[in-house]
Structure 1
């Protein structure tokens, strides 16, 4: 059942019990092709990020804070993608696009929590590079194992209460009329489009949440790299400058991919909502970044390449 009618105060109130994720239903002849593309992409994410996790655990040369955070970031990417891609694959294969109200809220909640964790972890990784390059003598003292663990745990749990509250607020809205969610998964912009009445307060909450848990870490990343670049430019050796830049460039590329699409998706007015554009941007921060993460870090990092070769040789 898609709807349930209740009689309240002598009138009928239609309550949506499930949504229909339209996804790529406007491309009926490409359903199997898209399924194949997304299946290969998902397997690539699992294998690529899984290899990063493995080498950061077993390779003795990668037992440093930088690779500790990289391994956990790869694990986070797997979790983040697994919230959306398996259901997308199921919808493409079975052509059954319905998702219950509860399942939709759970998917959105985990998406927000993991996305928030990714923002914080990217910020922590930038701080790690800042300490390593700008304060190298104090690096072992500042980024000690206890501090690394505290920063990691903080990244995972810092925003959980707020994201749960935001999810509750979104799903407390009355949804009436159509239950067709013109998106590939449950996300805030398409949900607000289906909500009845004034959603300006909810939009304000979304902007505040994005500013607090996305923009502030982003500004910290920018601030860290301004100081990093200033320090690198003062290095007397061209080789030293190249090596310092190479350790930071991979992280900057991942930050640009994730934040570029995420900010475009959330920090814009509802009036500029475009379902097709939003689908593209949402695929960027949920799929493209996780699939390119292992490639970016391995192709631009000699230590990771060497560790992968050792692992494959064994």
Structure 2
């Protein structure tokens, strides 16, 4: 997607939902660009499901605006929702019918879906060899792919997936990841993923929004969220002199003893070489430097622990 102009296929502004006196979701705002894979992360009870239900018109927001493919969801519901394919939780299928028969049934409900389009989505989800078998013989991963095929029948610009890898084994997770990336990269479909499997989100998503207690507390590219102060472990001799030097440097936010000779610091990555040079100039022996790169899970836990759920 690098170098391509993106327009917001999904735009959310000040989306809020209040039930009684309790505000479940408050002032949510984000955009999803064309062909972008966008992750929506949050602990249980954070407001993810409520937000998704508002995005597809299943519940009405108290205030705010949802715009899909240029259409206001409230004013032009049918035009907006035609551009969305959605799977919330496990896709519901008729187990004694074949995969093709299930798709044909959904196509009749969708209207104006040709046999050619059914063939296209079957090829897209790579189920050519099993589409005429009964769904009851499918693995969970195959059911998920059939559900996505059903969601793609109407040629949506936006695909909303709620926990798409939930319950899959490692091989199934890898296949689903590759399939989602192919939909975005090759077909230009925008994909909104709600998930709690943070390492998968880190590997697949371009950007993420982290929601806690009904509010988005951080939005941005995954790479940018992982930037900032990095934990760095130093082995120094003498350690006390080394600690004094590290504490005197600008940009170093934490200096603490972890073992007799090991010092843990937090500092921007570009400051490590400067700190090392200052230690060497002062006669402090640096026998080891270990930088610990944070994961999205580290960032997520740090943010949600700082603002715990009531």
Q: Check whether TM > 0.5.
A: no
Larger radius of gyration: 2
The structure, 1 or 2, with the larger RCO (C-alpha pairs under 8 Å, 6+ apart) is 1
The structure that is strand-richer by fraction is 2
Give the TM bin, normalised by the shorter chain: under 0.3
The TM-score, its normalising length taken from structure 1, stands at: 0.22
Higher-helix-fraction structure: 1
